[in-house]
Amino acid sequence: MTLPGGLTPADVVAWYEASQGGTQVNPLPDVSGNGMDITQADPNKQAVYQTGVFNGQPAYVFGAPRVYRRQWPSVSEPFTLFLVTDTQGPLNIGLSYCLVSGWNGAGKHAVGIRSNGIQWVMEQAGEGQHIYSGKRDTAAYPQINTTYVLQAEFENVDRLVKNGSQVITGDAGHNPTTGITLGARENEERHWPGRIAVCGVALALTSTQKDAVRAELLATYVS
């Protein structure tokens, strides 16, 4: 396939996209051609393929206990996670949710929602280093039944961009990542209560490249 924004396989670690993977739910194929297919052998934990979700595009339905994990060689910053997703049903203020995490605690690159105030959260450290979006009464508050193109930049200054608007900036830590857990935390807890159409990990992109990828994802899945 042609990767969004004119990216090439050399620009990415892996790229998972429901519109290219078809109804296949094990493995979720790495459509970049880099061979990083992500597997889930347990049928009870496999995502469900759903058509006509985001702007008519298909997606994978997650929620407990659905989760996929893939280990890869150590990847140091800078890198960017691109995610097309939504949340379904009420967000429980007593629960935290993890859209993407790393392979293990030391190699974490987490993006999710925390329960205290229901805020977007990022982390790129073994433990205890998080940065957050605005409180739930601001435009940064995650909503249900809303399509999000998320751009999580793990760099010298970390930031999360939501549909083109920055909602987090700061220092989330700087550990390298050694893999991915999709749909939950790396210990398979805090499951994501929604759907995922795209999850891509890209390397050392310029601002122009990031903008081009985000613009194409927004045009495809939102507008």
Domain borders along the chain are 12-48+60-221
What is the b/e burial string over 52-88, where b = at least 16 CB atoms within 10 angstroms of the residue's CB?
ebbeebbbbbbbeebbbbbebeebebbbbbbbbbbbe
The model's pLDDT over 49-81, given as tens digits with 9 standing for 90+, comes to 999 999 999 999 999 999 999 999 999 999 999
User: Please, which pLDDT band fits residue 138 given cuts at 50, 70 and 90?
Assistant: low
Q: Tell me the β-bridge partners of 150.
A: 83, 162
**pLDDT band (50, 70, 90) for residue 140:** low
What is the predicted pLDDT for the residue at 108? 83
The stretch 139-150 carries a mean pLDDT of 84
What are 194-222's pLDDT values in tens digits? Answer: 999 999 999 999 999 999 999 999 999 99
DSSP code of residue 206: -
Question: pLDDT category, 135, cuts 50, 70, 90?
Answer: low
For the segment(s) 12-48+60-221, the CATH number from 3.40.50.2000, 2.60.40.10, 2.20.25.90, 2.60.120.200 is: 2.60.120.200
pLDDT of 208 reads 97
